[in-house]
């Protein structure tokens, strides 16, 4: 298969690119390296187009001759989107429109779009099913929801099968520290630097963490499922408190990092856990990496990458 991965040098994207290359796909990557890393692609035979997903010409060039598209290029994170909502909208919504238009023009028939649990906003019921009200409370969540709706419209208007995967809290190897990002690499960075882990709030908030290997598995299965369209939760289906997460990471690292508490962050939800039965039924998604195993592996990778 001839695959295009937008954002293929990023955390999730590069893990996906590696899996595609290992199974023999012909892979093109489009990435501007704003948050991606060239070393994530080293040793893998990919065609690289260094460009922004907001460039219509670059996206059209990258799309040419492809059988399917994995659209992961994005401006990620609620806090970043609050600081710069215009850029967030241009990348996440405008970039997705470019991908859809290029796919239509080049007669590509399958797109997998990386959406987010951020579309839901304040949660009213759990576990979260796909039909939970979508009322995002950050520009990031709004831009991802808008992009989902664009995908839905194009799937209805044109001969395109489009799957939107609502990733929850993804973690794992190749996820580097970013103050805007996932709490796991932030805690790992603090531990490695010998600093306190800072919890925003009282630590009782819960999250559904899913390992990147499971996310890649789901993304590949969704891409291989012919004629499948729709939106699906991709998560572990379990939750953990942030305080317990911090204590696990401290234990597994062997460090003595203290835990401190700060004010809650704007846009953060209190509790989150996903119902993943729709993805299981539609394309056989089954998470396999338990949190303790995944955290040990991630901390080992982070310590090695820090050397």
Q: How confident is the model at residue 183 (pLDDT cuts 50, 70, 90)?
A: very high
Is 118 within 8 Å of 76 (Cβ atoms)?
no
Q: Please state the rounded mean pLDDT for residues 188-202.
A: 95
Closest CA to 186 of 122, 260, 118, 240: 260
Percent with pLDDT over 70 in the chain = 98
**Catalytic residue selected from 140, 154, 171, 298:** 140
Tens of pLDDT, residues 89-102? 999 999 999 999 99
- Residue 154 falls in the annotated catalytic set: no
Residue 179 has pLDDT above 80, yes or no: no
Is 184 within 8 Å of 209 (Cβ atoms)?
yes
Q: How confident is the model at residue 78 (pLDDT cuts 50, 70, 90)?
A: low
CA gap 61, 56 in Å, rounded: 9
Question: Distances in Å between the alpha carbon of 48 and those of 14, 41, 42, 138, 207?
Answer: 12, 9, 11, 32, 35
Q: How confident is the model at residue 180 (pLDDT cuts 50, 70, 90)?
A: low
Biggest alpha carbon–alpha carbon distance for the chain? 57
- What is the pLDDT at residue 289? 98
64-68, 229-233, 256-260, 287-291, range with the lowest pLDDT: 256-260
Is 190 within 8 Å of 197 (Cβ atoms)?
yes
Question: pTM for this structure?
Answer: 0.95
- What is the pLDDT at residue 269? 82
Residues whose CB is less than 8 angstroms from the CB of residue 45 and which lie 6 or more positions away in sequence, other chains included: 21, 27
Mean pLDDT of the residues in the chain: 95
CA gap 191, 196 in Å, rounded: 7
Residues whose CB is less than 8 angstroms from the CB of residue 219 and which lie 6 or more positions away in sequence, other chains included: 12, 16, 70, 112, 114, 165, 234
Closest CA to 233 of 117, 121, 153: 117
Structural domains in the chain, sorted by start: 2-170+211-237+274-287 (3.40.50.720)
Residue 5 has pLDDT above 80, yes or no: yes
């Amino acid at each position: 298969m001839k695959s295009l991965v937008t954002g293929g040098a990023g955390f999730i994207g590069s893990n996906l690119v590696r899996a595609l290359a290992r199974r023999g796909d012909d892979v093109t990557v489009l990435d501007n390296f704003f948050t991606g890393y060239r070393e994530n692609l080293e040793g893998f035979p990919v065609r690289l187009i260094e460009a922004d997903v907001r460039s219509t010409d670059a996206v059209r060039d990258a799309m040419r001759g492809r059988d399917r598209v994995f659209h992961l290029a994005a401006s990620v994170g609620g806090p970043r989107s609050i600081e710069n909502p215009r850029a967030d909208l241009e990348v996440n919504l405008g970039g997705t429109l470019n991908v859809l238009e290029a796919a239509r023009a080049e007669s590509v028939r399958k797109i997998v779009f990386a959406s987010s649990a951020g579309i839901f906003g304040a949660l009213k019921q759990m576990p979260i099913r796909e039909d939970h009200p979508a009322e995002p409370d950050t520009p990031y969540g709004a831009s991802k929801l808008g992009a989902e709706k664009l995908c839905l419209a194009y799937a209805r208007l044109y001969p395109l099968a489009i799957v939107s995967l609502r990733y929850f809290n993804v973690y794992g190897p190749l996820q580097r520290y970013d103050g805007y990002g996932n709490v796991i690499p932030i805690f790992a960075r603090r531990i490695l630097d010998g600093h306190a882990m800072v919890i925003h709030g009282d630590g009782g908030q819960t999250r559904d963490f899913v390992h990147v290997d499971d996310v890649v598995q789901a993304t590949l299965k969704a891409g291989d499922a012919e004629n499948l369209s729709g939106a699906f939760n991709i998560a572990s289906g379990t939750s953990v408190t942030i305080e317990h997460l911090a204590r696990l990471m401290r234990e597994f690292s062997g460090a003595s990092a203290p835990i401190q508490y700060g004010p809650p962050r704007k846009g953060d939800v209190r509790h989150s856990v996903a119902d993943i039965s729709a993805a299981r039924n539609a394309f056989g998604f089954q998470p396999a990496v338990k949190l303790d195993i995944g955290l040990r592996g991630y901390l080992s990778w982070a310590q090695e990458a820090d050397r």
